[in-house]
Every structure is written in structure tokens, then in C-alpha cells.
Amino acid sequence: MANIIKLCNISFINTLKTQPYDIIETVLKCASELNERSILVLTNVHQYLSVSQFQELVRLIETLDLSTLLIEFSEKKKSDYYENCRYYYIDQDFIDWRQE
């Protein structure tokens, strides 16, 4: 499938590539339209989105029924971003600080 997409030279139009949230939303909606069933992995999303945008992203993922893993590399807990998520904080000593 990836080779077919590459061969056809399919890409997103430039107007969609302006804001980080818009880019992520477009990718997720495309995955949903293509009926993607594998786990989508996004890293360091909190660095590009406000708390409200992040919460909107979580709602979008739930609405689209996508399996998504968000990996954030940070030395600080940012639990305010992850109110509606299953959140696991692992510190530099690899201690798991689960918020359940």
C-alpha cells in the first residue's frame, strides 16, 4: 500500500500544513478513512499543542475510534494534558508513576 501511494505521488495540499494541530488532525482523519487498524504512534505532541488543543485531539481520536499511543519525552509531569487519557509517567530512574 505504501508503495502504491508513493508511486501515485499522493500528498497533502500545502494549506493543510500550516499549524501542528491541523497536520495531526489530517493524518488521523486519513488513517480513519483508510480504515487503519494498526496502532498509530505520535511522539512529543504536547510540545506543539496547547492543553485545549490536546484535549480536542483526544476527543477526535475517540470519535474516530483509532488505536493511538502517545509517547512524550519530558522531565516533568504534565498530567493536565492527559486528563482523559490513560497516563503513565516514568521518571529518569525508570520508576513508573501511574495516575489511575
Provide mean pLDDT across the span 10-28: 79
* Domain locations in the chain as residue ranges: 2-99
- Looking at residue 15, its pLDDT comes to 66
Cβ atoms of 97 and 90 within 8 Å: the answer is: yes
Strands, E assignment, the chain: 40-43, 68-71, 87-90, 96-99
Q: How far is CA 89 from CA 16, 53, 57, 82, 95, in A?
A: 32, 21, 20, 11, 8
Confirm whether pTM is higher than 0.75: no
- Looking at residue 87, its pLDDT comes to 72
pLDDT, one tens digit per residue, over 68-81 is: 988 877 666 666 77
